[in-house]
Amino acid sequence: MLRPPNIDPPQRPLSIMTTATSASGQDKTGATWATAVTDENAWEDLILTLDGGGIRGYASLLILKRLVHEIVKCERRLQETEGPIKDSPRQSFNEDELLLCHYFDYMYGTSTGGLISVMLGRLRMTVPQCLEIYRQVGNDLFGHRRNVLPLATKYRHKPLEKAVQRIVKEYCKHHENCDGLDWHPWNVDEKDAPTSSSASTTGETYRICQSICLTATRSGQLDEAYLLRTYDHRYDPEICPIWLTPYNEGADKLKIWQVTRATSAAPFFFKMLEADFGPQRGKVGFKDGGIRENNPSYAAYSEHASLRGDDHEPALLLSVGTGRPDTSHDGFAAAWPGPFGKVPLVKQWSEKIAVFKNLLIKYTEGEDRHKMMRTIAKGEHRWYKRLNVNKGLENMKMDHWESGHWTDPSTGIKKVVPGGKSLTRMEEATHAYLDRNEADKTLLEYQPPKVVLQQVAERLVRHRRAREATKHQDLKRWETHMGQYLTGTRVDHEDGAVKK
């Protein structure tokens, strides 16, 4: 169904066809791109990026839920038409148990997107598990409207810290009795730390799906974007292109709960996270990444270029938003939560207002960054794709949490729950977006969102199949990718549950 129409099996060697990822890409429908995977390009990078946006991260997760649905459909179709992968222990594909960390190599997120990237990438959770967490965390964080002054940020961060520690404790696949205080980087200099990557004989680094949270830190007079990675990144001057402005290097030794706090430490919302890196570096304060780059897709592209060189494009960079802002009216009040705009006494906080204005700009600039990425990628029919609900969330505040009717997808029962109205609204808006049959030309969509998702799914599945089919060329690479050296099992349990 996704095959390009009227294209016969290629007569030329596949490697010529498949340079579509780096050539100009003549097929403007994206269909050729979706199938252009070979043994040679199977291990090229597959990247997911997630915008910030408070509770609206729920909408990003709903898009990923549909992606998982399309992945399972495609896995089954290819298993039938092209046959199962030889020696594969995997016979069936279940939507509720599928792990996106088996399909992506890197997951970047800002703020709420950072939390999702940590859950999917670092904790290797399923999408339904993350959705469930959002419904719970939403209540912890937004369930009770603040009755304090809008600028008082004291103690608001505690529920998030506790919630993340609880999540780590429950979903950690490494410790028998996890205390919830795991490090974010895969490799830290502790004797019980898991090993995630080591150089192979071919010089390639074995790697597991990595998660990277974008945050901001103060450098001189400026807040600068800062990346908190699960892997130790170094800028190699031999590879790094000259146009690239480097981010920080390395992997900061922070706990998972600290990283999620750091990326979402929006002023007025949460207290800034202060981490003490010891006598040499001292204390570093981290602010919400949304201050600098609410859409981390360019950061992801730039990191990729610094690792592989700019003559090398990613196999896929999927950018997922938290709903398009309505730029036709006051984005300020719309994009940012709280009674802030209505309170006259804010004038007293002149310095904070300056930060606040800056925040507004960054929170609504996600679409500008998207336009920049389209230009870099020469369109969205090739390796760069963006999915972002275009209607229905534009006036929804990031801390919107209203009680009301919500239907539990597992039971089909509809009832009034905390946040129910907000959840239902996001579900309806996201489904309307994903079910749309026509491309919206005013948004420069090249295909309807549902077709984009099918193309992304096909590409991901073909990479996964090609990687598994050729695993004997370098077994350790495949096993590392599948999490063998982290979970102590041959592969992740597909259901994502901890089975010890």
Pairing mode, if any, of strands 106-110 and 316-320?
unpaired
Closest approach, Cβ 405 to Zn ion, in A, equals: 37
HEC profile of the chain: CCCCCCCCCCCCCHHHHHHHHCCCCCCCCCHHHHHCCCCCCCCCCEEEEECCCHHHHHHHHHHHHHHHHHHHHHHHHHHHHHCCCCCCCCCCCCCCCCCHHHCCCEEEEECHHHHHHHHHHHCCCCHHHHHHHHHHHHHHHHCCCCCCCCCCCCCCCHHHHHHHHHHHHHHCCCCCCCCCCCECCCCCCCCCCCCCCCECCCCCECCCCEEEEEEEEEECCEEEEEEEECCCCCCCCCCCCCCCCCCCCCCCCCEHHHHHHHHCCCCCCCCCEEEECHHHHCEEEEEEHHHCCCCCHHHHHHHHHHHHCCCCCCCEEEEECCCCCCCCCCHHHHHCCCCHHHCHHHHHCHHHHHHHHHHHHHHHCHHHHHHHHHHHCCCCCCCEEEECCCCCCCCCCCCCCCCEEEECCCCCCEEEECCHHHHHHHHHHHHHHHHCCCCCHHHCCCCCHHHHHHHHHHHHHHHHHHHHHCHHHCHHHHHHHCCHHHHCCCCCCCCCCCCC
Q: Which two tokens stand for residue 165?
A: 């520690």
Q: Which of 51, 105, 182, 288 is catalytic?
A: 288
Pick 175 or 450: Cβ nearer Zn ion: 175
Q: Of the ranges 32-40, 167-175, 228-236, 349-357, which one interacts with Zn ion (CB under 5 A)? A: 167-175
Q: Of the ranges 41-49, 169-177, 236-244, 349-357, which one interacts with Zn ion (CB under 5 A)? A: 169-177
Closest approach, Cβ 286 to Zn ion, in A, equals: 22
| The residue type at 78 | L
Interaction residues for Zn ion, span 432-461 (CB under 5 A): none
175 binds Zn ion (CB under 5 A): yes
Pick 172 or 259: Cβ nearer Zn ion: 172
Pick 138 or 496: Cβ nearer Zn ion: 496
Pick 137 or 172: Cβ nearer Zn ion: 172
178 binds Zn ion (CB under 5 A): yes
Closest approach, Cβ 99 to Zn ion, in A, equals: 17
C-beta separation of 123 from 171 below 8 A: yes
Q: Of the ranges 178-186, 256-264, 436-444, 488-496, which one interacts with Zn ion (CB under 5 A)? A: 178-186
164 binds Zn ion (CB under 5 A): no
288 a catalytic residue = yes
122 binds Zn ion (CB under 5 A): no
Closest approach, Cβ 158 to Zn ion, in A, equals: 21
Q: Of the ranges 8-16, 58-66, 173-181, 478-486, which one interacts with Zn ion (CB under 5 A)? A: 173-181
Q: Which of 182, 288, 394, 427 binds Zn ion (CB under 5 A)?
A: 182
172 binds Zn ion (CB under 5 A): yes
Q: Of the ranges 142-150, 180-188, 388-396, 410-418, which one interacts with Zn ion (CB under 5 A)? A: 180-188
Closest approach, Cβ 179 to Zn ion, in A, equals: 7
Pick 137 or 167: Cβ nearer Zn ion: 167
Pick 186 or 268: Cβ nearer Zn ion: 186
Size of the site for Zn ion (CB under 5 A): 5
Closest approach, Cβ 181 to Zn ion, in A, equals: 8
77 binds Zn ion (CB under 5 A): no
Q: Which of 45, 51, 111, 182 is catalytic?
A: 111
Pick 178 or 417: Cβ nearer Zn ion: 178
Closest approach, Cβ 284 to Zn ion, in A, equals: 24
264 a catalytic residue = no
Interaction residues for Zn ion, span 396-425 (CB under 5 A): none
Active site members? 111, 288
**Residues engaged in binding Zn ion (CB under 5 A):** 172, 174-175, 178, 182
